[in-house]
Structure 1
Amino acid sequence: MFQKVLIWFLLSAFFLTAWPVSAYLPSDPLYSEQSYLAYINIPQAWDIAQGAGVTVAILDSGVDINHPDLKFNIWKNSKEISGDGLDNDDNGYIDDTSGWDFVDSDNDPSPVASPEYSQLSISHGTALAGLIGSVANNGLGLAGIAFNSKIMPLRILQSDGEGLVETLVEAINYAVKNGADIINLSLVGFEYNVALENAVRQANQSGVLIVAAAGNAESDQSAKDLNIEPAYPACYGNNSGDNLVVAVSSLAVSGQKSAFSNYGADCIDLSALGEDISSLAYYNPAQGLNNYYSYNWYGTSFSTAIVSGVAALAKSKNLSLDASDLTILLKSGAENIDALNPDFKGKLGTGRIDALKVLNSSLPATGKLIKLNQSSAVYYLDSEKIRHLFPNQNIFFSWYNGTWKDQTVEIVSQEKFDSFKIGQNVIIRPGTKLVKFQNSGRLYAVSFNGLLHNADSLTLTELYGDYDSRVVTIQNSFESDYTRGEKLSGLTYPDGSLIQYDNSDKIWYLEAGQKRELTDDSLVLNGFRSEYIIKNVNSDFYYNIGRPIKNLESNIFTYFLTK
């Protein structure tokens, strides 16, 4: 028996029945009711991106795919032929032209008004979809945050707001396989489920961003600290290297945490407005549902949808961004609100989301480590999405401290791996090791740009003392990654070396005829291992003094990582 996943609401919503006369720029009559757009600088962000080319999957109580203010932004499965009773794209779902109903196992993802339906629950998915993707400038109703995006509707919850984890897992897998860029999960449960975590992890590794709600307090109860009582899927992964989900708490207009919103330093990534939200409603007169629009939505469900909408704008600006990239941009594009929330300092993520700041942010000029699931080969993926192979672990650990257990290596799908350009292989870190190739007994010191300097044993002993521990072997096939330079003399060390003189605790980095002192934590920040330091160097080795090294420098630590 699978656990149920529940949607928690705090307050009711009130419904409208008609649209006023249209206006232009925007021509949406209810635009004036969308104060939350200006609150997070959405209008300014629209000058940069509007969501084109991005698909957001809404996994919820169903979406009104025929709603006049949404139907033109409903995702279409172009590989499926409508009404022919066949699974044209062989994805396991017949005639899934506009999503899927995983509750009733049919191709209509619209809400279903069962006898026990809740008016809030039955419109919940449609309201989320409208908040993100309502068509703009059409003379009707509202403008979605990412009004040029596409909404992939996947019904996983019954009309009373409850559903099964099994259904949620199936829908996440469907969204990933059928081209969703972002998955909005405005739902929560409080029991860990390995199948759900695996589905979330697979989505993340496929580059699909999952945005999930922190959850709301139940009636007559206090909001939960998710560090003490984790909620899922919001708390899968963690915020220190394995961030599988962007988890969102709710704020009032004041910037203070909503009374109903859960929180927690280990789970929450950022916060967004979750009070007094206007959006769409499920329209079905035959069931007595006569309203197109709704007011006064409250809950982390809507904070989550706002973040999904902003993520769609960021993705639209740069379609090459994957889940980890978007997570970095979303978290960096937030305003710190600790001063407004002294009782929740550090427990509301990086702060209140600002759409303009997100879109104006850029990824650090750095990268990450990646590998395929069934391969031991590790690559450095740089900020230009170019992958660089580490030919062996000796080369890898000339750049990084610790052991393999200390490294964060992202597993990527074959499709994603193949989308990255192939770059130069990583070479041994200059100044650290002495190398030899399998087909030769010669030893080389390595300086910048892979320049090899052959040296005899006498010279190496003069420079390094007992040098055996510095020698590493590189496969013959990678010899072409290096260039032969002048023979190493006993009068100088290769660029990139770390030296420490007799009777001194100062550590110096050698670069272009200068020595630069490593101060503060710069040894660790630049990825050096203490074993690289050449100690007891004679003072006869003279170098001009350059500026000190106080922080990480990318020209020194070429393959530094995004934290």
Structure 2
Amino acid sequence: MLMNLVCDKKVTVRRKITTIVQINPLQYKIHCVHPLIQMPYFSYKVIVIAILLSVFILPVQARQVLIHLDTQTNSAELATLYQQGRVVKDLSPLPWLVVDIAETNARLRQANNLAIYEDIRGHFASTPTDPLYAQQWHLDEIGVPDYWNITRGEGVTIALLDSGVDPNHPDLKDNILFTQGYDFGDADADAYDANGHGTAMAGLMVAQCDNAIGGCGVAPQAKIIPYKLNQTDSGSFSSATLATAILAAADSDAQIISMSLVLDESAPWVEDALRYAQGKNKLLVAAAGNDNLPTVAFPANLPFVVGVGAFTKDHERFGNYGEGLKIIAPGVSLWTTQPGKEYVNFYTGTSPATALVSATLALLIASHPTYTAPELIVSLITASQDPAPAGWDEQSGFGQLHLSSVQTTDPHLQFSAFGKMVYHPNEQLNLDLFLTDLRGQSADLYLRINLPIDTQRISLYQLFNAEPTLDSIPFNQTIISPFPFTDDLQLSLFGENGLLIRGALIAGLTEGIYEVDATLITDAKQLAYQRQILWISAD
């Protein structure tokens, strides 16, 4: 698509007429005509709409914004808008356009002078009729009710590898694909839950909402395929059975494999089964363990598995922690279902936390149906609330589970990854850091990269024109500390002229989540913080 601007001066709406000459269906030129002839504002607006509607722009994921057009809007700004968006509604006679703009163009939107506003969602002031809903503190904690205005998980299926499910529970019966499941513990087709653990996890994920009984699952319109691992009502199972169930789930229609379980030690055959499932684009979620040890249990500790820890109502972390921890979620006082028609709230720890993360991923799949599994993990981690200390740490992983339809920004720091979340070996990673509104201030910039190496995580602090270090040293230490800002800065960190890495990514990097975070410190206080989450694949 081509648009050539041949106006030699700035064009304002009331000073010049702009006409559009079609060259072919995908090429246009804007010609400026006599400056003394004036055009009414809303006629000019019609031309803007014509430009935008004339081209098909199909972003992978679009965000709806409102754009305010005033009498000073010029042709260059309109050309930029033309390249970024697609008008979906004209609010005439008001000076507003409703436009879909690709998420990848977020930085471009901020670069022009148009007044652009995120659309604001509304909802009817109603509360679910389920009697236990008011006691389900975790739903508000992770932002679920607001996200239900976008989706409730419709069209998403979760493979639950557990003790089975009661398919007749009135809060679950319409969301359990029982005939698609299997009892691998007893080698039969009846995956009924005689233990209770699996039914509890299912309720946290998909219990129906607004049916005047029980409570609500995080994704009340998602479905579950139950794969039973244990014999009868036993609380244990074999790793070979787990591997077999993972293979079955990988070959099913489920997008998520939820494992509220741990193994006593690592099992290579289970890891191979999980890698097989990963190759099928499945999201893999597992519990970190409840022993409060500084070691995340297997298989949650694998870098390509979302290892889940837990926290209390007071945001205190509990359960296992350490290198393999990716995220923590509510894990106490969680009302859920039990076989029969029962409800309980005594399941505590990383098992229920894992169920909540799995169901949250179901909501993300429903709202981003074209995303791959790694892109969904990046979205999950990016939306999480990062408690102090900033960035990944052994206590909370990348943060506390949270859903948000609006990404928070910092007035002084912003990353631009040019729309990409996932990178592969021999591919060039492009990442810029923008430092704005700092003129007249002095601060130290700390740049840290947290990366996986096998099942460990390493934090490297980057220095300008020097080797990275494990010590917390500011990036500008090799220039001047603190650094005096005289204007806005754009730092190319990764890319063709990257300050940290130039050219393509090398092969052999551990697959998983990579975090680049930036912190501005002035007078021993944090002035600004921002991070960028990426996924680097093994192939």
CA distance in structure 2 between the aligned counterparts of 1:204 and 1:58, rounded to whole angstroms: 16
CA distance in structure 2 between the aligned counterparts of 1:160 and 1:316, rounded to whole angstroms: 34
Closer/same/farther in 2, CA of residues 140 and 346 from structure 1, 3 Å limit: same
Matched, 1:528 2:520: no
Which of 53, 57, 70 matches 2:155?
Answer: 53
> What is the Cα deviation at residue 356 of structure 1?
2.4
> What is the Cα deviation at residue 527 of structure 1?
5.0
Map of 2:397 onto structure 1: 349
Output one character per residue of 1:161-205: Cα deviation in whole Å (capped at 9) or x when no partner: 100011111111111101111111111113111110011112122
Maintained 8 Å contact 1:74/1:98: no
CA distance in structure 1 between the aligned counterparts of 2:492 and 2:306, rounded to whole angstroms: 36
Map of 1:187 onto structure 2: 261
Map of 1:253 onto structure 2: 313
Output one character per residue of 1:65-119: Cα deviation in whole Å (capped at 9) or x when no partner: 111110101126xxxxxxxxxxxxxxxxxxxx2311001111111123xxxxxxx
> What is the Cα deviation at residue 381 of structure 1?
12
CA distance in structure 2 between the aligned counterparts of 1:322 and 1:127, rounded to whole angstroms: 28
Map of 2:363 onto structure 1: 313
Map of 1:172 onto structure 2: 246
What's the secondary structure of 1:355's corresponding residue?
A: coil
What's the secondary structure of 2:226's corresponding residue?
A: strand
Paired letter, 1:139: A
Maintained 8 Å contact 1:101/1:155: yes
CA distance in structure 2 between the aligned counterparts of 1:517 and 1:44, rounded to whole angstroms: 35
> What is the Cα deviation at residue 529 of structure 1?
5.7
Runs of 5+ in structure 1 lacking a partner?
Answer: 1-23, 77-96, 113-121, 218-222, 238-243, 284-290, 372-377, 383-405, 409-515, 531-550, 552-559
Output one character per residue of 1:329-387: Cα deviation in whole Å (capped at 9) or x when no partner: 1111111223599xx9543211111122589999961254559xxxxxx88999xxxxx
Map of 1:288 onto structure 2: none
Map of 1:102 onto structure 2: 184
Matched, 1:73 2:73: no
> What is the Cα deviation at residue 140 of structure 1?
1.9
CA distance in structure 2 between the aligned counterparts of 1:519 and 1:74, rounded to whole angstroms: 49
Matched, 1:300 2:350: yes
Closer/same/farther in 2, CA of residues 134 and 561 from structure 1, 3 Å limit: closer
CA distance in structure 2 between the aligned counterparts of 1:407 and 1:339, rounded to whole angstroms: 19
Map of 2:138 onto structure 1: 36
Map of 1:234 onto structure 2: 300
What's the secondary structure of 1:231's corresponding residue?
A: coil
Map of 1:147 onto structure 2: 220
> What is the Cα deviation at residue 524 of structure 1?
3.5
Aligned residues: 323
Map of 1:161 onto structure 2: 235
Map of 1:64 onto structure 2: 166
CA distance in structure 2 between the aligned counterparts of 1:152 and 1:42, rounded to whole angstroms: 22
Runs of 5+ in structure 2 lacking a partner?
Answer: 1-125, 410-415, 431-450, 454-488, 505-517, 519-532
CA distance in structure 2 between the aligned counterparts of 1:206 and 1:520, rounded to whole angstroms: 33
> What is the Cα deviation at residue 517 of structure 1?
11
Map of 1:124 onto structure 2: 197
Higher relative contact order (CA 8 A, sep 6+): 1
CA distance in structure 1 between the aligned counterparts of 2:490 and 2:263, rounded to whole angstroms: 53
Map of 1:200 onto structure 2: 274
Maintained 8 Å contact 2:206/2:217: yes
What's the secondary structure of 2:180's corresponding residue?
A: coil
Map of 1:272 onto structure 2: 329
Rg (Cα) greater in structure: 1
CA distance in structure 2 between the aligned counterparts of 1:305 and 1:194, rounded to whole angstroms: 24
What's the secondary structure of 2:327's corresponding residue?
A: strand
Paired letter, 1:273: P
> What is the Cα deviation at residue 141 of structure 1?
1.2
Maintained 8 Å contact 1:367/1:380: no
Closer/same/farther in 2, CA of residues 138 and 346 from structure 1, 3 Å limit: same
CA distance in structure 2 between the aligned counterparts of 1:26 and 1:517, rounded to whole angstroms: 47
Q: How does 1:509-520 map to 2 (within 5 A)?
A: none
Matched, 1:225 2:294: yes
Map of 1:15 onto structure 2: none
CA RMSD, 1 decimal: 3.7
Q: How does 1:106-505 map to 2 (within 5 A)?
A: 106-112=188-194, 122-158=195-231, 159-217=233-291, 223-226=292-295, 230-237=296-303, 244-258=304-318, 261-264=319-322, 266-283=323-340, 291-338=341-388, 345-356=393-404, 365-366=419-420, 368-369=422-423
